[in-house]
């Protein structure tokens, strides 16, 4: 960029959406500062989460981290997308769909975050800084952000040309523009956990789960029961990621989080219910997982806009979505790349044009993907569709089952991308 003074962006949120935006904006010639309320970069935990990366997301990451082999070495292939049904009464299962051309890779959330974070200048992050408020200047040329330094309780101010809201599905920045927007409870919650079997690779639990799920290490498994389903796949460094979705009334969530704390009694009851439904091998994995937790599943109807003046939404702040299409992380990465490309294309003096093109490029895609992911969740949970029908794996036709496959996600392999930018990348 030709300006003597480089434009500056303040990014609120240091999760994957935030660090991805930092990469994309730095490449576009911007200075960035990232505000994150956590006191330090995440290092992983027993309750971490798995995710799947599509080919385009991997291409972007490799561009940012400069060392593609690092991403390859910290992920496992997901070349198969398989949906199978379980009859808990007869204790039999059968395959509903199997796609052997599924080109994803499985990653552990903390590993991916670490790759992206460690490839950035460390001095751009302000850890332990809680976002408080912002104000846009009267000429709409700058934005002033206030944050509290948690370990000192002092308030600091930062001024930038752009505010990037990467503060998640419960975004307080989004709420300032859309105070009446409410997240939509999906009708179910998810028990989830990660089993670390690095020191028990030859145990009976691991032997039995590999026998029951022979393609672990390359397959994304979905088990569908009656009005419930599970997800199972392997993560790097000998970990198994599992999720169990359960229909229930909206729980009494507390605080600014979609994760619920659980008691020993809740875990014990969950184990008892699992024994009634799932394959004994999967039940053993669930029982041996330390610190399982509950996610309350929300999304929202697609937004009508993604920016106001010089404030822009990215990631889950822009499109809260249910997890069934493996979209959240992939959408966040592409949001960042498109935003960076737009800023590079239009330059600092035409910020509004850049944000308009970002919005017009991303909004149609994420709107379709949010709604499709919602529909996939309702199908797999046996919830009534808008047309009054519901999916029952025991009676579903082969045509019905086709809707279960990941490849039916809108823009799954043909994502509209920005043209006319010095940044180019290929669709999968």
**Which value, in Å, is the radius of gyration of the alpha carbons in the chain?**
22
pLDDT reported for residue 1? 44
- State if pTM tops 0.85: yes
According to the model, what pLDDT value does residue 66 have? 82
Give the pLDDT of residue 48: 58
Q: Helix 204-212 vs helix 280-288: angle between axes, to the nearest 10 degrees?
A: 140
Q: What are the tens digits of pLDDT across the range 339-390?
A: 999 999 998 889 999 999 999 999 999 999 999 999 999 999 999 877 778 8
Quick check: 216 pLDDT over 50?
yes
Say whether pLDDT at 27 is over 90: yes
| Region of poorest pLDDT, from 89-98, 114-123, 360-369, 402-411 | 89-98
- The sheet carrying 155-160 orders its strands as 129-136, 143-149, 155-160
What is the spatial distance between Cα 416 and Cα 407, in angstroms, rounded to a whole number? 16
pLDDT range class, residue 46, cuts 50, 70, 90: very low
Going by pLDDT thresholds of 50, 70 and 90, the confidence category of residue 301 is very high
- Whether the predicted pLDDT of 30 surpasses 90: yes
C-alpha span between 28 and 64 (Å, rounded): 12
pLDDT tens across 261-289, in order? 889 999 999 999 999 999 999 999 999 99
Question: SS3 for 221?
Answer: strand
pLDDT at 43 over 80: no
pLDDT of residue 168: 93
Q: In the predicted model, is pLDDT for residue 145 greater than 50? A: yes
41-47: average pLDDT: 62
Is the pLDDT confidence value at 414 over 80? Answer: no
Bridge-partner residues for 232, per DSSP? 221, 242
Cα separation values, 159 from 9, 136, 149, 152, Å: 8, 10, 16, 21
**For residue 25, what are its two tokens?**
């904006």
- Residue 256 confidence (pLDDT): 60
Q: What is the mean pLDDT of the chain?
A: 91
Q: Is the pLDDT at 179 greater than 90, yes or no?
A: yes
- 3-state DSSP percent of the chain in helix, strand and coil, to 5: 35, 30, 40
For the chain, what percent of residues have pLDDT higher than 70? 93
Mean pLDDT, residues 408-413 taken together: 88
Whole-number pLDDT of residue 417:
65
pLDDT at 240: 96
Confidence of residue 4 (pLDDT cuts 50, 70, 90): low
Q: Please tell me which residue, 423 or 167, carries the higher pLDDT value.
A: 167
Q: How confident is the model at residue 418 (pLDDT cuts 50, 70, 90)?
A: low
Structure confidence at residue 2 (pLDDT): 47
DSSP annotation string for 98-154 = EES---EEEEEHHHHHHHHHHTS-GGGEEETEEEEEEEE-TTSS-EEEEEEETTT--
Residue 428 has pLDDT above 80, yes or no: no
- Which residues are CB-contacts of 316 (< 8 A; sequence separation ≥ 6)? 17, 168, 169, 171, 328, 332
User: Given this model, what pLDDT does residue 3 score?
Assistant: 47
pLDDT class of 176 with cuts at 50, 70, 90 = very high
Residue from 374, 15, 360, 30 nearest 183 by CA = 374
pLDDT band of residue 87 (cuts 50, 70, 90) is confident
Give the pLDDT confidence score for residue 416 in this predicted structure.
65
pLDDT grade for 426, boundaries at 50, 70 and 90:
very low
pLDDT at 420 over 60: no
Size (the chain), residues: 428
Percent of the chain at pLDDT above 90?
78
Q: What is the rounded CA–CA span in Å between residue 262 and residue 270?
A: 11
């Amino acid at each position: 960029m030709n300006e003597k003074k480089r434009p500056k962006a303040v990014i609120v949120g240091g999760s994957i959406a935030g660090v991805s935006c930092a990469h994309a904006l730095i490449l576009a010639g911007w200075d960035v500062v990232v505000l994150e309320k956590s006191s330090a970069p995440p290092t992983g935990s027993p309750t971490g989460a798995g995710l799947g990366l599509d080919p385009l997301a991997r291409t972007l990451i490799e561009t940012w981290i400069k060392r593609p082999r690092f991403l390859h070495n910290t992920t496992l292939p997901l070349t198969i997308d398989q949906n199978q049904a379980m009859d808990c009464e007869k204790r039999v299962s059968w395959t509903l769909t199997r796609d052997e051309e599924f080109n994803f890779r499985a990653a552990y959330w903390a590993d991916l975050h670490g790759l992206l974070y460690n490839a950035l200048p460390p001095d751009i992050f302000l850890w332990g800084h809680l976002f408080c408020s912002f104000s846009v200047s009267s000429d709409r040329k700058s934005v002033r952000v206030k944050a509290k330094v948690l370990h000192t309780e002092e308030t600091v101010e930062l001024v930038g040309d752009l505010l990037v809201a990467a503060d998640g599905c419960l975004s307080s920045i989004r709420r300032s523009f859309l105070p009446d927007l409410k997240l939509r409870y999906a009708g179910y919650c998810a028990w989830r956990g990660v089993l670390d079997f690095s020191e028990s690779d030859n145990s009976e639990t691991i032997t039995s789960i590999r026998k029951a799920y022979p393609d672990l290490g390359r397959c994304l498994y979905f088990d569908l029961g009656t009005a419930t389903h599970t997800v199972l796949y392997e993560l790097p460094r000998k970990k198994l990621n599992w999720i169990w979705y359960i229909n229930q009334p909206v729980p009494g969530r507390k605080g600014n989080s979609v994760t619920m704390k659980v008691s020993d009694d809740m875990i014990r009851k969950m184990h008892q219910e699992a024994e009634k439904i799932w394959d004994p091998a999967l039940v053993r994995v669930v029982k041996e997982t330390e610190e399982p937790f509950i996610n309350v599943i929300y999304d929202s109807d697609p937004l009508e806009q993604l920016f106001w003046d010089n404030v822009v939404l990215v990631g889950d702040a822009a499109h809260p979505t249910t997890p069934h299409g493996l979209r959240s992380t992939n959408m966040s990465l592409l949001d960042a790349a498109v935003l960076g490309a737009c800023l590079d294309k239009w330059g600092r003096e035409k910020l509004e044009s850049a944000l308009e093109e970002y919005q017009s490029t991303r909004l149609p895609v994420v709107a379709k993907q949010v709604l499709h992911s919602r529909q996939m969740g309702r199908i797999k949970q046996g919830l009534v569709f808008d047309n009054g029908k519901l999916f029952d794996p025991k009676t579903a036709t082969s045509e019905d089952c086709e809707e279960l496959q990941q490849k039916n996600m809108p823009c799954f392999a043909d994502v509209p991308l920005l043209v006319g930018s010095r940044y180019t990348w290929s669709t999968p």
